[in-house]
Amino acid sequence: MTLEKATFGAGCFWSVEVTFRNVPGVVDAIVGYTGGTKPEPSYQEVCTGMTGHAEAVEVTYDSTRVSYKELLRVFWENHDPTTLNRQGPDVGSQYRSAVFYYSTEQEQAARAMKEELSTSGRYRRPIVTEIVPASEFYRAEEYHQRYLQKRGLATCAV
């Protein structure tokens, strides 16, 4: 088993977490905040949009079972990467579409897939997904972890 990390912002982190937990080869998915300026932000602070953080999911995966490119595919297919600072009814920079990369290989893979999708004709509007270096990831409060699963609104394989 070779464990690696990937971090994605794709709107409200509750459903994003469930989506990644159900990918074979994903060992863990935790929700939190990244990409901002305030150390140890709270949910209430992030919700103001003033900390600069995105709601994000940090995915730990076994790269011998699932590739980073497959995780990118799941990311792109499960949110609208053409809406700036918005996913469905959630509006604000904390809901932005973002790939937070940990290596040059992850950055190159994300940029290549973004370019491929941009020229594919799949989307009518330009893709606005940020592709930026991973920064400090702050685990969200415990009540946010596995939120939908705890409420019987989702099933998780892990």
pLDDT tens digits, one per residue of 81-107: 999 999 988 899 999 999 999 999 999
Q: Assess if residue 124 is contained within a domain.
A: yes
Q: How many CB atoms lie within 10 A of CB 36?
A: 20
pLDDT tens digits, one per residue of 132-142: 999 999 999 88
Q: Assess if residue 58 is contained within a domain.
A: yes
Would residue 12 show up in a list of annotated catalytic residues for this protein? yes
Q: Assess if residue 156 is contained within a domain.
A: no
15/10 Cα distance (integer angstroms): 9
Q: Assess if residue 61 is contained within a domain.
A: yes
Q: Assess if residue 154 is contained within a domain.
A: no
* Whole-number pLDDT of residue 88: 87
30, 31, 147, 149, 151 from 143: Cα distances, Å: 12, 10, 6, 11, 11
The mean predicted confidence, pLDDT, of the chain is 93
Q: Assess if residue 126 is contained within a domain.
A: yes
pLDDT tens digits, one per residue of 28-46: 999 999 999 999 999 999 9
Q: How many CB atoms lie within 10 A of CB 86?
A: 17
Which residue segment(s) compose the domain that 73 sits in?
A: 3-149
* Domain count within the chain: 1
Q: Assess if residue 158 is contained within a domain.
A: no
39/62 Cα distance (integer angstroms): 29
* Whole-number pLDDT of residue 155: 58
pTM above 0.85, yes or no: yes
Tell me the CATH number at 64. 3.30.1060.10
Structure tokens at 75: 């990311």
The answer to whether the CB of 118 falls within 8 A of the CB of 127 is yes
pLDDT exceeds cutoff 90 at 149:
no
66/26 Cα distance (integer angstroms): 7
Q: Assess if residue 157 is contained within a domain.
A: no
The catalytic residue among 6, 10, 12, 30 is 12
